[in-house]
A and B are shown apart, each in its own frame.
Chain A
C-alpha cells in the first residue's frame, strides 16, 4: 500500500465527511420511509433523479441557482411524495407489504423511462461559477459545493430531529412506526401519516439533489448510484434510525474517500461494499438498530 503525507490523508477524510453528509441526506429519506412504512422504497433512486432534473430545469429555464432552487423544490417534492403514497402506492398495495415493494419498483421503471424520453440519455450539468471554488482550511483545500452540502445536510437533519421529537405530527410518525393499531385508536390517521412520511422522504431528496447538482452531472439513471450507497448507509446505521443514517453517511463518505485514495478512484466504492458485507455478518442491526 502506498503511503501519503498526512495533509493528503486529512484532506481525503475531510472530503469524505463532506460528501458523506449528502449521502446521509439521501439515506435519511430511505430510512425514514423504511422505519414507518416497513418497506424498501425502490423508487427512491428514480425520485432523486427526478429531483436533480427538476433542479436542472430550474437552472436552465429560469436561471435559478441550485441552492436557491431548494426553496421551491422542497414543498413541491413534499406534495409529490405525499400524493404518490396516497394515490398510487397506498391504493395499489392494498395493505400488503410485498405489493408495496413491487409498486415502488414499477414506479421507478416508469419514472426512469419517462425521464429518458424527455431528457434523452445525454448527461446534463449546470455551470455555476462556484463549482470549482475551494475553501482553505489550514493545510486542506475543501471544495465549496461540498462544504455547503455538509452544512445544509446537518440543518435538514436537525430540523427533522426537532420535527420528530417536538411536534404532535412527528410523534404520530414515530407512534405509527411501532404500533399502528394503537395509533389508530388514539385518532391518528395512519394513511395520512404514511403519506406525510413519504413526503418528507421525498423532500429530503429534493434538498440532496440541489446540493449535488453543482458538482455532479444528471442522467436518467444517476439516482441509482447514490441510492445503492444510501442503502449501505441505512444498513450500517440501523434500519429506520435517523441519527444512524447521518452517522452512517459520514462513515461511508470517509471509507469511499480513503479507499479511493489508497486503491485508486475506480475502486473507491469497493470499501463501501466491504463495509456492507461486514455489517451484515457481524452487526446486522447496524450501529443504532433497534432489537428485533
Chain B
C-alpha cells in the first residue's frame, strides 16, 4: 500500500534522511522506532507532503505521490495524526472533528462523527468545549478522531503516547489494536519500543537517518542491535 524508496530529505544544509526505504501493506501495523532526532517526524512530514524530499520516491496505492501537496496526499486516504496533536485550540471539539472531513469523506460526515463519538465517549461529553482546554489525553483522542473522520486507508500515528500517563498509554495501544482489528493499516511512529513491538507486525528502527534494523516485530525485539541503536551503546 505504501512504498518508500531511497528517500533523502533535510532542511537547509542538514540532511536528516539519508536514503530510507520501507513498505506498509494493507491491514498491517508497522512500527517505525527511533530515538529523538533520528528523523522519524521528518519522514512523516515527507510522506504527508509538508516537506519536499531531495531524492527518492513515495508511492501510495500504486500511485507516485512524491511532490504532491498535503491536501492532495490526504485526499488519497493517507492520513497523519501528527506529533504534538496539532489540534485547533480555538475551535470546539465538534468543529475540530468536522474539519477532519474538510477534503475527504465529507458526504459521510454525520455518520463518521457518530462513529468517533462511539469510540471516544469522552469527546461527546466535551463536544462544545474549546479543544485547547482539553486534557492531554483528550487532545490525543481528538487528534485521532479527527484523522478517522477522513476515512483513512493508511493512518500514520506520530508518537501517540507522548506526554500521556502510563494508564493512558496502555489505553492508547489498546485503541490502536482495535483500529487495526477493523482492518485499518497503521504506521506507528514511536519512541515507546516495548509496547510498539508488542502490537506491530513488522518494525523498522531508524538511526541517524537510515534504518539500522528492519524485520518482523518479534525478530527486531530479540535483536541485540536494537539496544545498541537505541542507547547508542
Q: Which chain A residues have a beta carbon within 8 Å of chain B's beta carbons?
A: 168, 171-172, 174-175, 177-179, 181-189, 290
- Inter-chain CA distance A177–B102, complex, in Å, is 16
- Inter-chain CA distance A177–B88, complex, in Å, is 9
Instruction: Verify A172–B99 contact, CB threshold 8 A.
Output: yes
- Neighbouring B residues of A290 by C-beta, 8 Å: 90
Instruction: Verify A171–B82 contact, CB threshold 8 A.
Output: no
- Inter-chain CA distance A182–B85, complex, in Å, is 8
Instruction: Verify B102–A179 contact, CB threshold 8 A.
Output: no
Q: Mark B42-77, 1 if CB is under 8 A from A, else 0.
A: 000000101000000000000000000111001100
Instruction: Verify B48–A185 contact, CB threshold 8 A.
Output: yes
Instruction: Verify B91–A175 contact, CB threshold 8 A.
Output: yes
Instruction: Verify B88–A188 contact, CB threshold 8 A.
Output: no
Give the contacting residue for A171; candidates B71, B95, B103, B146; CB below 8 A: B95
- Inter-chain CA distance A101–B87, complex, in Å, is 28
Would you call the interface of chain B mostly helix, strand, loop, or mixed?
A: loop
Give the contacting residue for A186; candidates B50, B69, B103; CB below 8 A: B103
Query: What residue in chain B is nearest A168 (Cβ atoms)?
Result: B102
B177 is an interface residue with CB less than 8 A from chain A: no
Q: Which chain B residues have a beta carbon within 8 Å of chain A's beta carbons?
A: 48, 50, 69-71, 74-75, 79-80, 82, 85-91, 95, 98-100, 102-104, 146, 150
Would you give the shortest CB distance from A282 to chain B, in whole angstroms?
25
- Inter-chain CA distance A184–B89, complex, in Å, is 15
- Inter-chain CA distance A190–B28, complex, in Å, is 32
Instruction: Verify B87–A188 contact, CB threshold 8 A.
Output: no
List 10 interface pairs A-B (beta carbons < 8 Å), by A numbering.
A171-B99, A177-B90, A179-B86, A181-B86, A182-B87, A187-B71, A187-B150, A188-B71, A188-B102, A189-B69
Instruction: Verify A183–B50 contact, CB threshold 8 A.
Output: no
- Inter-chain CA distance A181–B158, complex, in Å, is 14
- Neighbouring B residues of A183 by C-beta, 8 Å: 88, 99
- Inter-chain CA distance A203–B79, complex, in Å, is 35
Give the contacting residue for B74; candidates A174, A175, A186; CB below 8 A: A186
- Inter-chain CA distance A177–B146, complex, in Å, is 18
- Inter-chain CA distance A185–B80, complex, in Å, is 7
Would you give the shortest CB distance from B72 to chain A, in whole angstroms?
8
- Inter-chain CA distance A184–B73, complex, in Å, is 10
Would you give the shortest CB distance from B130 to chain A, in whole angstroms?
11
- Neighbouring A residues of B89 by C-beta, 8 Å: 178-179
- Neighbouring A residues of B74 by C-beta, 8 Å: 185-187
Instruction: Verify A186–B91 contact, CB threshold 8 A.
Output: no
Query: What residue in chain A is nearest B83 (Cβ atoms)?
Result: A181
Would you give the shortest CB distance from B21 to chain A, in whole angstroms?
24
Give the contacting residue for A175; candidates B75, B79, B88, B103; CB below 8 A: B88
- Inter-chain CA distance A174–B50, complex, in Å, is 20
